[in-house]
Amino acid sequence: MRKYLFPLIVLAVAGWIAYGQATGDGSCATGVCPITGQTLANKNTSTMSTEDANSLKNKLTPIQYAVACEGGTEPPFQNAYWDNKKAGLYVDVISGEPLFASVDKFDSGTGWPSFTKPVSAEEIVEVEDTSHGMVRTEVRSKTGDAHLGHVFPDGPDENGLRYCINSASLRFIPVADLEKEGYGEYADLFSDDK
């Protein structure tokens, strides 16, 4: 499976580059994500004040701050959750809002946690990303405004989406701790009846 994944990713990236060039300015002319159909937000969506930034620098580790607040990317296969197989909820490292569930996580072979869908689409903001000579769709958290990663059209589920997310933007809550941590309402996501 992995030997076929890389060529597919290369083809997807080439398609994105061609799509960006076809619009004339390297951007999505429609303002709508061609992958998910959501309206794209403006790139500069952050409203973080200096005081907020300093507070977050004290709260987060250096890699968490670099990724979530400055739009960085952590190394593949060298991050906390790329191979986490435990059942639980992944929440925004800044706001604590639920973002992804382990029931929607899969091994994409990329070295980053990958999910087929978010817990709530309303908590995900999509932003056009034309960095590195490609046109991609960045995903950010709505409440915490954290850079999460990107969404790609090569996922295994019927929706065909792969949310490729940085572990540094997430905090993992095991199922056994959901109630204690204040996320008891999400326990049904992990029931055997699902």
Place of tokens 């992990």: 190
**Count of CB atoms situated within 10 Å of the CB of 66:** 17
**Count of CB atoms situated within 10 Å of the CB of 1:** 8
Which domains can be identified in the chain, with CATH numbers?
Answer: 2-190 (2.170.150.20)
Rounded CA separation 132/121 (Å): 26
Q: What is the pLDDT of residue 27?
A: 40
Rounded CA separation 176/179 (Å): 8
Amino acid at 117: K
**Which position among 28, 33, 69, 164 bears the catalytic label?**
164
Q: What is the pLDDT of residue 47?
A: 53
How is residue 143 annotated by DSSP?
T
Q: What is the pTM of this model?
A: 0.77
HSE-CB for 105 with a 13 A CA cutoff:
24
* CA-based end-to-end distance of the chain: 27
**Count of CB atoms situated within 10 Å of the CB of 135:** 23
Which run of H or of E encompasses 173? Answer: strand 170-174
Is 69 a known active-site residue?
A: no
List per-block mean pLDDT (blocks of 10 residues) for the chain, which spans 194 residues: 52 45 41 58 54 86 96 96 97 97 97 97 95 93 96 94 98 98 96 64
